[in-house]
Structure 1
Amino acid sequence: MRDIITPLAILSCALLPLAGCKVVKNPDPDSASTVAAEMTDEARMAVYADTIWAERVTPTIAEYSIPFSEFKEQLAADGLDAVGNAHGLRPEGEANPWNFAVTGEGVVVEANTQSRAAKLMVDTDADGASDLTLQLGPVIRGTALRDAMPFIVFTNFRDQIEFAKLARALNDLANSNLSWPEGDLVGRSVSFEGVFTLRNKGDAVELVPTELQVE
């Protein structure tokens, strides 16, 4: 007698290929996690920088700012580490340089506003010589804005590349909030607030302004 294949046997055979399968849902293209995963490092860090700018970055600068004239006096009298311990900001580790937030005013003695690395050289003590450089950008050197923020910690980021993109995004935001008149600015009075990094006592001060007024 020939074997009879029952309907139950047919059903069992049909289900065998599915025994090791796992149903996986397609990702929601509109979900926040999916959008974030598809963004470039530059885009993600730009979004993060914009999120923290008004709520955390500018309040930190305002909290720690001292007059630039006071900074200069203390630096000359007590040295870099003393003024750093009193007013400075830096990532954990004594090998990292000090960053300072300052306010000040002065007179422009030299200006280069045509370059993509636009700068103003400012005399703050009326001796006719430049005491600091205001980096107007859009190309801004350094990572002072990032490194002056005590809540920004390297280990919270994927790697050094992503961390560098954040520094660039913060510099770009600082630049986007600045404006200055057209024409020759030499001899014009300026007031400013911002941050800079100082590795050695005698180094030139190149400040990233977060506020700027040209009178």
Structure 2
Amino acid sequence: MHAMKLSAAILALLLPLGGCKLVPTDKPDAETAAAQTDEARMAAYADENWSTKVLPVIAEHTVDYDTLQKALSAGVETAGNSYGLRPEGEANPWNFVVSGAGTVTEAKLDSRAARMEVDMNGDGKPDVTLQIGPIIRGTALRDAMPFIVFTDFRDQIEFAKLARAMNEKAHAGLDIPEGDVIGKTVSFTGVYTMRSVDDAPEIVPTVIEVDP
């Protein structure tokens, strides 16, 4: 008799469950972020910080090309201490935000690694390269940002993907010229890494403007 009462009680408890429906909840933000690819997260990081942090750093530290060349005549360290940006540690190379204007001597704009060679002093020879992209070499744009610290990221792989995301963000904001630009004047602002005074700057431009 007691067994029958116990069975009935258990059945009464179980019956309401038959009409219940389990509804999955949304993933927490942390889980959603973890489910994203490195590329997506780094692209989102670049987007989030571009206007509020990256562009203000560029505006604050931009130096005229001719002024920088005069400073570099005294050595990279001297110029770096006056105008440069680099991650913590003296072993890291200096990065410079430079603006200027010159004559396009060579251009390859129909490539995914589009670029322009620019004569800055009027001797007819290229002095700098503007990396237009979207494929852009180097990590200058990332490494010039004081708010970006390697230890804030998971590992070297993620950090490398951040550099690529920032380069792609720079490319996306360019007004890329069309047609033949050789012989025309191009004005630019951009960032490059310098390891030696003999290095020809390969600049990642954030602004370019070609005279019509």
* TM-score, normalised by the number of residues in structure 2: 0.87
What is the rounded CA distance, in whole Å, between the counterparts of 2:170 and 2:157 in structure 1? 20
Deviations 1:36-91 (A, max 9, x none): 12110000000010000011001101100100111111112x10000011111000
Is residue 28 of structure 1 aligned with residue 26 of structure 2?
Answer: yes
Other structure's SS at 2:130 match: strand
Other structure's SS at 1:146 match: helix
- What is the aligned-residue RMSD (CA, Å)? 2.1
Is residue 199 of structure 1 aligned with residue 195 of structure 2?
Answer: yes
Amino acid at match of 2:144: A
What is the rounded CA distance, in whole Å, between the counterparts of 1:199 and 1:127 in structure 2? 24
What is the rounded CA distance, in whole Å, between the counterparts of 1:92 and 1:181 in structure 2? 37
Partner of 1:190: 186
Partner of 1:21: none
1:154 positional shift? 0.2
Partner of 1:134: 130
Is residue 120 of structure 1 aligned with residue 116 of structure 2?
Answer: yes
1:179 positional shift? 2.1
Residues 28, 34 of structure 1: 8 Å contact kept:
no
Other structure's SS at 2:199 match: coil
What is the rounded CA distance, in whole Å, between the counterparts of 2:159 and 2:138 in structure 1? 13
- Give the alignment partner of residue 40 of structure 2, picking from 40, 43, 47: 43
Partner of 2:209: 213
Partner of 2:16: none
1:7 positional shift? 6.5
Other structure's SS at 2:115 match: strand
Partner of 1:63: 60
> Which 5+ residue runs of structure 2 have no aligned equivalent?
10-22
> Which 5+ residue runs of structure 1 have no aligned equivalent?
12-24
1:26 positional shift? 5.7
Is residue 162 of structure 1 aligned with residue 158 of structure 2?
Answer: yes
Partner of 2:82: 86
* TM-score, normalised by the number of residues in structure 1: 0.86
Partner of 1:22: none
1:117 positional shift? 0.8
- Give the alignment partner of residue 139 of structure 2, picking from 135, 140, 143: 143
What is the rounded CA distance, in whole Å, between the counterparts of 2:48 and 2:139 in structure 1? 18
What is the rounded CA distance, in whole Å, between the counterparts of 1:72 and 1:119 in structure 2? 22
What is the rounded CA distance, in whole Å, between the counterparts of 2:109 and 2:3 in structure 1? 88
Q: How many residues align?
A: 200
**Structure 1 residues 26, 173: closer, same or farther in 2, change over 3 A?**
same
Deviations 1:110-167 (A, max 9, x none): 1111221111011111121111000000100000000000000000001111111100
More displaced, 31-40 or 105-114? 31-40
1:33 positional shift? 2.4
Moved over 2 A (4+): 4-8, 31-35
